[in-house]
Amino acid sequence: MRVVTTTKTTAEGTTDSVAQRSPLGWLLAVVLLVVVALVASRLLHPMDDYTRAVLSLTGDEVRGRSIFVMNCVDCHGQWADGKVGPSLRNVSERLSPRRIVEQVVSGKTPPMPQFQPEPQEMADLLRYLNQL
C-alpha cells in the first residue's frame, strides 16, 4: 500500500512568523500588564467600608456647600479658590472620588485636619466638590 504523506508547505511557517512580529502581540502583552497592575493595586489598597458606603450614596450639592462653608472655607476660600490650602477648582478632574474621600478623612497632609463626616455628609461634600 502506498502511504501518502502530506508535507506542509512553508506558507504556514511564514504566516506564523508574521503573527509573532505583529503589533497585536505587543498590544496583548501591554493590556495584560495593565490588568495585572490594576488587580495588584486593588489587592494592595482595598477600598475600605467607609469609602464604599460614601460612594454608594447620592450626595446633595446644597448640603455639601453648607458643610463646606462650615468646615473648609477658612483654608480653601469662600469659593474654593484657595487660601491657606490650594484651590479646589476642578479638583474632581485631578483626583478620583476615592482620593478626595481619603484626603478629607485621613489627616495625612497637615495642616489640613482629619475630618470624620458621616458617609452621607461625605457624599454631599463630594457632590459639591465635583461641580467646582
For helices 23-44 and 10-21, the axis angle rounded to 10 degrees is 40
How far is residue 129 from each of residues 72, 98, 114, measured CA to CA in Å? 11, 13, 17
By CB under 6 A, is residue 45 in contact with ligand HEC? no
Q: Which is nearer to ligand HEC, 53 or 105 (CB)?
A: 105
Which of 59, 76, 101, 121 is the binder for ligand HEC (CB under 6 A)? Answer: 76
Q: Which is nearer to ligand HEC, 6 or 96 (CB)?
A: 96
The span from the CA of 72 to the CA of 52, in Å, is 23
Binding of ligand HEC at residue 53 (CB under 6 A)?
A: no
Q: Does 105 bind ligand HEC (CB under 6 A)?
A: no
Q: What cell does 67 get?
A: 458643610
How far, in Å, CA of 67 to CA of 20, rounded?
A: 58
Interface segment toward ligand HEC; rule CB under 6 A; list 8-16, 29-37, 44-52, 87-95: 87-95
54, 101, 104, 123: which one binds ligand HEC (CB under 6 A): 104
Neighbours of 55 (CB within 10 A): 16
Give the footprint of ligand HEC on this chain (CB under 6 A).
71-72, 74-76, 84-86, 88, 91, 94-95, 100, 103-104, 109, 111-113, 115, 125
